[in-house]
Amino acid sequence: MNELTIKSGPNSSDRKEVPSVVIRFAGDSGDGIQITGSRFTDTTALVGNDLATFPDFPAEIRAPIGTTFGVSAFQINFGSRRIETHGDVPDVLVALNPAALMVNIARLKTGGTIIVDSGTFTDRNLKKAGYLENPLEDGSLDGFSVLKIDIAKLVLEAVKEFGLSQKEGLRCKNFWVLGLIFWIYGRSRQNTVDWLNKKFASRPEIANANIAALNAGHVFGEVSELGDGIELYSIPAAEMPPGLYRTITGGEALAWGLVAGAELADLRIFFGSYPITPASPVLHSLAKMKQFGVKTFQAEDEIAAICSAIGASYAGALGITSSSGPGIALKGEAIGLAISTELPLIIVNSQRAGPSTGLPTKTEQSDLYQAVYGRNADAPLVVLASRSPADCFDVAIEACRLAAKYMTPVMLLTDGYIGNAAEPWLIPTVADKKPFPVNRDIDPEGFLPFARDPATLARPWAVPGTPGLEHRIGGIEKEVGSGNISYEPANHQEMTDIRRNKILGIAKDIPAQIVESGDETGDLAVVGWGSTYGPISRAVNNKLAEGKNVSHIHIRHIWPFPENLETLLRGFKKVIVPEMNDGQLKTVLRDQFLIDAKPVNKVTGQPFKITEIEDAIDLALES
């Protein structure tokens, strides 16, 4: 089947040109929904559409088949215009069982398209999903275009020549669906065929069966009358800055950014981590990068993970650890030690919904307090936040620069949404970036482990193995300069002041805060941080198009804030702060600047919709 000549799509004249489409794939967590989504993403990227994705899966690896809590979904927004979010409301819902329909139907756009595997709408499955009547028959889907296909039956027919068991055959269902969707949106199958051949190189019968299913889905589209209201579409390539592109997830971008940053600092990476959702992809990515001198250590727990990273920094590497909120909580004491001993350290926090275990696969931005304030005693560090998958790369480099230059821990905030989502990325060239090598040539003459660079207030990084610099560090308060143990009251005051001033002084070394869109002063500033960038950006631009006086400010450097941030915020009559938490950045802004920042909060485990931000803007402007 590999040799099958793949026909190109239909003439574009047969197709309705649309600027963007949102598709949501949904099925059981064993249906391969995430694979379907990521294959569609890659293919869509290759034709030059801009896109944003939202993998939305349950915490259970395999919930009982057919139940609502086992529903896995993948949403993609793609188009010929600039795409900033994964889309408020899907145009198309693919539901591979009744539970997937039940969970996702409320999101679908009025008049949208539903594609269902009708064979799964049995009495048993309907009951499991909580339906009293069959929604395909009771008229409840009137108003949508519904395409009912007995996909399971068609798949088994398509793959029967490969001698798979029924179970294995049904596993190809997701590729059948993908083939159909490819037909509807005029996509080539070649990239997916290549991917399957590579993925299942050692089991060609599986590759061939999936390819057969993919082709069968496509052919089904070609030969069937798809039904009322279901058209074929084309989405032209987006206008994007010229250059070489790829798709990237936040987890990959972060890992690669750390490696790039370490290279620019002329340091080796040591990454100590303990698996936790949704932080693990960073560990997985870095574990594959030994050729870059990256050492990864899967520790026995979160505490060992950070302690090993601090030990590595002490020994001269750039120590990095990564976790999510509950794991960061466990690392708290060690973060204090790294602050006290003034060693470079990067702590990546892939935030998730909480408190405690919370909703481990759902996204939130609720670790801002933990990052800024969440340690015993006066323990300042640098806090950075990435705003999108590709942005993780740049923020990771910035974290490396600040950690090494200022001999300080840096908390890098990302979240489950950014980490798993993908977007097209104009590939940068690291070789063109300005290096920031660490200077560790230290003369034993007059060496003091807690001497200070007058410009940065950083202490020297005296690495074990260097003759003549033998010294002791630890968590007990250090005498100014010598670093010897000191219980002197005035010394503790002075060291506390130094630690604070060192971090606050970094404000002089970071870019000034810019306004993303809108004027530098005006009626309303919408201030955001992290993964709310997409919806805030689109909402503010929509409101600007309506002639509203509103600006978007998105903060990357959260501690310390850029020097001009206060002045900038004071130039607006009102400030609102949309956050996926109960008002954390709002509190810090009020605390630092005594301004009346108003919260706009959402803690549902789901990202903001553009309309929700638009409503908040309207409300703020009217009140």
Partner 1 sequence: MNIAVPSEKLKPADFASDQEVRWCPGCGDYAILKAVQRTLPDLDTPKEKYVFVSGIGCSSRFPYYMSTYGFHTIHGRAPAFATGIKITNPDLDVWMVTGDGDGFSIGGNHMLHVLRRNVNIQILLCNNEIYGLTKGQYSPTSEIGLRTPSSPTGSVDRPLKPLVFTLGAGARFAARGYDTQKTLPEILKRAHAHQGTSMVEILQNCIVYNDAVFDNVLARNVAADKQVHVQHGHPLIFGADKNMGIRLNTNTLTLEAVTIGENGVTEDDILVHDEKNRSLATMLAEMDGDELPVAMGVLFCDPAETYENGITQQMDAAQDATTPSIDALLRKGPTWRV
Near partner 1 in 315-334, by CB under 8 A: 315-317, 319, 333-334
105 belongs to the binding site for partner 1 (CB under 8 A): no
* C-beta of 241 vs 355, nearer to partner 1: 241
One residue of 78, 270, 406, 461 binding partner 1 per CB under 8 A: 270
CB of 219 to partner 1, least distance (A): 25
Q: Does 382 bind partner 1 (CB under 8 A)?
A: no
How many other C-beta atoms are found inside a 10 Å radius of the C-beta of residue 32?
22
Contact flag: residue 87 with partner 1 (CB under 8 A): no
Residue 197's CB is within 10 A of a number of other CB atoms, namely 15
Contacts with partner 1 in 39-78 (CB under 8 A)?
42, 45-46, 48
Distances (CA, A) of 197 to 34, 161, 193, 210, 429: 18, 18, 6, 10, 31
Q: Report helix, strand or coil for 421.
A: coil
With tokens 């130094």, the residue in question is 498
The residue from 51, 92, 312, 457 that contacts partner 1 (CB under 8 A) is 312
Q: Considering only residues 186 through 225, tell me which ones interact with partner 1, judged by CB under 8 A.
A: 191
CB nearer to partner 1: give 223 or 244: 244
* Long-range contacts (CB closer than 8 Å, 24 or more residues apart) made by 482-488: 482/448, 482/449, 482/450, 483/448, 483/449, 483/450
Residue 544 sits in the site that holds partner 1 (CB under 8 A): no
Nearer to partner 1, 242 or 547 (CB): 242
Is residue 420 within 8 Å of 55, Cβ to Cβ? yes
Candidate list 109, 148, 284, 295; residue touching partner 1; CB under 8 A:
295
CA distance 493 to 495: 6
- Binding track, positions 418-457, relative to partner 1; x by CB under 8 A: ---------xxxxx---------x-xxx------------
Q: Choose the stretch contacting partner 1; rule: CB under 8 A; options: 96-104, 136-144, 460-468, 493-501.
A: 460-468
Interaction between residue 464 and partner 1 (CB under 8 A): yes
Q: How far is the CB of 171 from partner 1 (least distance, A)?
A: 24
Binding mask 224-263 for partner 1 (x = CB under 8 A): -------------x--xxxxxxxx--------x--xx--x
Minimum separation from the CB atom of position 50 to partner 1 (A): 10
Asked whether the beta carbons of 323 and 251 are under 8 A apart, the reply is no
Residue 299: count other Cβ atoms within 10 Å of its Cβ: 17
Within 8 A by CB and 6+ apart from 58, the residues are 29, 69, 70, 71, 72, 361
- H or E element: which one contains 36? helix 33-46
Q: Which is nearer to partner 1, 476 or 512 (CB)?
A: 476
In the beta sheet, which residues pair with residue 409?
345
H or E element in which residue 485 lies: none
Residues in 150-189 at the binding interface with partner 1, rule: CB under 8 A: none
Cβ at position 560, least distance to partner 1 in Å: 26
CB of 466 to partner 1, least distance (A): 6
Which of 391, 370, 359 is CA-nearest to residue 278? 359
Q: Which residues of 554-573 are buried (b: 16+ CB within 10 A; e: fewer)?
A: bbbbbbbbbeebbebbeebe
- What is the closest distance, in whole angstroms, from the C-beta atom of residue 395 to partner 1 in the complex? 16
Query: CA-to-CA distance for 387 and 54, rounded, in angstroms?
Result: 14
At its nearest, how many Å lie between partner 1 and the CB of residue 499? 17
Please enumerate in sequence order all residues whose Cβ is within 8 A of that of 302, keeping only pairs 6 or more positions apart, or say none.
274, 276, 323, 327, 328, 330, 331
Nearer to partner 1, 466 or 521 (CB): 466
**Segment near partner 1 (CB under 8 A); pick from 162-170, 293-301, 349-357, 379-387:** 293-301
The two structure tokens encoding residue 244: 């070489």
**Using CB under 8 A, which residues numbered 558 to 617 contact partner 1?**
none
For partner 1, the closer CB: 278 or 319 = 319
Least distance from partner 1 to the Cβ atom of residue 340, Å: 10
Output 379 or 569, the one with its CB closest to partner 1: 379
Query: Are 156 and 213 contacting, i.e. CB atoms less than 8 angstroms apart?
Result: no
Q: Is 148 in the site for partner 1 (CB under 8 A)?
A: no
